[in-house]
Structure formats: structure tokens, C-alpha cells
């Protein structure tokens, strides 16, 4: 078992059939290990430890699959599309993570086989390629545009906002660089997703929330606005703020109340803290709307948006009636 774990660690999460044979596990032993739940077969001739695999996120599993595919296919391909985005550490949402995407470097036509999509396209070595942990992947810029062109606007916003936040890419920079891909199917959708994206969005839930706001024609809010008291002291930083209406919006995801909650030993502590924070915001004459993952589902999203709109109008009525606007300049 020690030899097995060592091989899996060196490979980056998987072991090939021939490697199992090399360390003394014949095919009958491999089948027994699979039946016993020790190993899991994730691709033809590719195995992982079940105990580890079951604890991984879908994105981490995809990265392991990608590593095994790239090793098998060799230097004639490069990881691309959402596979490259995942390997580059970008957020991926709404993609088929059971399928690995590569782009051929040998000029041959594309094809789909055994859970791998082979794309055909022009790849410029000096602009489009980079190496991550020994793997050849397309650049962040290209990975974003590829993913956006084959995704919904919402999914594209997730990966583009992540690239802005994590890799320092700008929307104009990506749009300019993407002009060489204007002939691609889906390029217009990709450009829309990039224009709507913003690196200040800190989580997938916040990006999806901004997409919901755009989709339902709610005015675009300020992002990560800092609210201070009359003496200029910090009160709160809010996910979304409609300053003219003195209304704020907060996406409440798992990081606040679920398994990623920093107060896991006392979940009520986070809830109490958030309630006090909301009271402090309201104390500065701002209203607040809150929603979570459930509120972003397609069948209830319109209702969530309508609730936010009612909150905006209520705050406008309550907090701006006697407001004084001071002209600057």
C-alpha cells in the first residue's frame, strides 16, 4: 500500500494499470481492490484511491482526470477550455467535468472519444502556451475565451471574474486579445460574459447573483461598497449596493453557514454576527436583501429578483425621502 500511495502522489492523484502491475498488483488483484472499494476505475486503465476520491470536489477530480489524459496523450496536445481553466485554479461552473478538453498541436482534425474532446485550432506557442506543474496548458487569457465561447453567459462570467480576481486580467485586455477568436462559434456570447464580469466578485455565488441581477434587469449595483458611520468609521463591506436607493444585497453561501463556516463548532455564532452586521447597516439608513444558493435556482430566480426589487423600492421610500444631495465641483 505504501508503494501504491507513493505512485499516486507522484502522478498527482491517480495510478495507471501498468504501474499497478509494476508494483506487484496483477489484473485479478486490481479487480478485487475495485470490488472491495479500495480502488476506483475512473478511466480505462486509470485508477484512484476511493477514500481520497470521495472527499474531493468535482473540480479537483476533473484535474486528476486531466493529468491522466495528458500523460497518456503526450506532447501532441495541450489542456484547453474549462480543463485548462480548472488546472489554472480558476472557478468553473456549469461545465461537464466528466469530459476533458484538449487542443491538438499536430494540426490533425478534432474528435471526441472516451470522455476526451480533441479540439482543432491554431495555437501560438509564444502567446497561448504555458506549463503548470509539468502540464502543458493554454494561457489564462485563451482558457477564459474558450470556456466562455462554449458556456452560458452565467458560466462564462464565473470563469472570467475568477481570472480577473486571481490572475489580474482586465476585461478590456481579454476582449482585445480575443479579437483573433471572433470567428469562433459563441464568440459574441463570450464577449458579453466578459463585459459583465468583475474581479471584485469574490465567490461563484456572488458572480451568479450579479448574473441574476442583469438577467432580470435590476440596475447594476456597486460591488464591495464600504459603509461608514458619521465619523468615518468602518461599519460593513457589502456584496452589492444600490447607492441611490440606499439598499444593499448580500449573497449568503456555504462559506458563512455551511461546511466552510469558520465557526463550525458554534454555527450560531456566525448567524448572530451576521445579524449584528445587518443591524449595523440598517443603522446607517441602508436596507438589505439576502439570498442564498436556493434563490439562484432557475425556477425561483424570478421570485428572488422580484424580492430584491421590492427591497430597493422600500429602501428608496424609507431612506431617501429627506436625503440631501450635495453637488461636487
25 and 72 in a single domain? The answer is: no
CA distance 46 to 65: 9
> For the chain, what is the radius of gyration of the CA atoms?
24
Same-domain check for residues 108 and 176 = yes
Tens-digit pLDDT string for the chain (329 aa): 678 999 999 999 999 999 999 999 999 999 999 999 999 999 999 999 999 999 999 999 999 999 999 999 998 999 999 999 999 999 999 999 999 999 999 877 788 988 999 998 889 888 999 999 899 999 999 999 999 999 999 999 999 999 999 999 999 999 999 999 999 999 999 999 999 999 999 999 999 999 999 999 999 999 999 999 999 999 999 999 999 999 999 999 754 434 344 445 555 555 667 788 899 999 999 999 999 999 999 999 999 999 999 999 999 999 997 655 444 44
Read off the pTM: 0.89
> Is 109 in contact with 125 (CB distance < 8 Å)?
no
Rounded distance between C-alpha atoms, residue 41 and residue 171, angstroms: 41
Looking at the structure, tell me whether residues 137 and 85 fall in a common domain: yes
Is residue 327 one of the residues assigned to a domain?
A: no
β partners of residue 77: 104
Verify that 159 and 230 share a domain, yes or no. no
Predicted confidence at residue 78, as pLDDT, reads 97
Last residue of a domain, one of 196, 222, 238: 196
Question: What's the pLDDT at 164?
Answer: 98
If phi over 0 gives left and psi between -120 and 50 gives alpha, with beta otherwise, what is residue 309?
alpha
Looking at the structure, tell me whether residues 192 and 210 fall in a common domain: no
85 plus 191 within the same structural domain:
yes
In a domain, 276, yes or no: yes
Which residues constitute the domain of residue 40?
A: 2-53
Q: What total number of domains does the chain contain?
A: 3
Does residue 16 sit within a domain? yes
Domain containing 298 — which CATH number? 3.40.960
Between CA 89 and CA 160 the distance in angstroms is: 12
Q: Give a yes or no: residue 328 inside a domain.
A: no
Same domain, 40 and 67: no
33 and 62 together in one domain: no
Whether 130 and 145 share a structural domain: yes
Q: Is 11 part of a structural domain of the chain?
A: yes
For residues 24 and 78, state if they share a domain: no
**Of 164, 196, 228, which residue constitutes the final position of a domain?**
196
List the CATH number of the domain containing 34. Answer: 1.10.10
Residues in the chain: 329
At which of 196, 227, 255 does a domain end?
A: 196
Q: How far is CA 280 from the centre of its chain?
A: 31
Q: Is residue 251 part of a domain?
A: yes
Residues 158, 133 share a domain = yes
β-bridge partners, 226: 237
Domain-located, residue 89: yes
8 A C-beta contact, residue 57 and residue 92:
no
> What does the alpha-carbon distance between residue 82 and residue 101 come to, in Å, rounded to a whole number?
7
Amino acid at each position: 500500500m505504501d508503494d501504491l500511495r507513493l505512485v499516486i502522489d507522484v502522478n498527482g492523484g491517480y495510478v495507471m494499470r501498468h504501474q499497478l502491475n509494476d508494483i506487484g498488483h496483477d489484473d485479478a488483484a486490481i479487480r478485487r481492490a475495485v470490488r472491495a472499494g479500495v480502488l476506483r476505475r475512473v478511466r480505462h486503465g486509470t485508477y484512484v484511491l476511493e477514500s481520497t476520491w470521495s472527499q474531493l470536489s468535482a473540480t479537483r477530480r476533473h484535474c486528476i482526470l486531466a493529468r491522466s489524459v495528458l500523460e497518456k496523450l503526450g506532447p501532441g496536445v495541450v489542456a484547453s477550455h474549462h480543463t485548462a481553466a480548472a488546472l489554472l485554479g480558476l472557478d468553473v461552473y456549469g461545465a461537464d467535468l466528466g469530459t476533458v478538453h484538449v487542443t491538438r498541436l499536430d494540426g490533425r482534425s478534432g474528435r471526441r472519444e472516451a470522455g476526451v474532446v480533441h479540439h482543432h485550432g491554431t495555437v501560438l506557442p509564444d502567446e497561448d502556451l504555458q506549463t503548470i506543474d509539468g502540464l502543458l496548458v493554454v494561457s489564462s487569457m485563451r482558457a477564459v475565451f474558450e470556456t466562455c465561447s462554449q458556456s452560458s453567459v452565467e458560466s462564462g462570467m464565473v470563469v472570467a471574474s475568477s481570472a480577473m480576481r486571481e490572475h489580474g486580467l482586465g476585461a478590456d485586455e481579454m476582449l482585445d486579445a480575443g479579437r483573433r477568436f471572433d470567428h469562433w462559434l459563441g464568440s459574441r456570447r463570450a464577449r458579453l460574459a466578459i463585459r459583465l464580469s468583475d474581479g471584485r466578485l469574490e465567490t461563484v455565488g456572488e458572480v451568479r447573483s450579479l448574473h441574476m441581477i442583469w438577467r432580470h434587469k435590476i440596475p447594476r449595483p456597486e460591488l464591495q461598497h464600504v459603509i461608514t458611520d458619521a465619523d468615518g468609521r468602518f461599519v460593513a463591506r457589502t456584496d452589492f449596493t444600490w447607492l441611490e436607493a440606499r439598499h444593499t444585497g448580500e449573497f449568503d453561501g456555504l462559506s458563512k453557514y455551511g461546511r466552510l463556516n469558520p465557526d463550525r463548532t458554534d454555527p450560531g455564532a456566525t448567524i448572530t454576527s451576521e445579524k449584528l452586521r445587518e443591524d449595523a447597516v440598517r443603522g446607517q439608513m441602508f436596507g438589505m436583501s439576502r439570498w442564498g444558493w436556493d434563490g439562484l435556482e432557475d425556477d425561483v430566480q424570478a421570485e428572488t429578483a422580484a424580492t430584491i426589487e421590492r427591497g430597493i423600492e422600500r429602501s428608496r421610500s424609507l431612506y431617501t425621502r429627506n436625503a440631501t444631495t450635495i453637488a461636487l465641483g
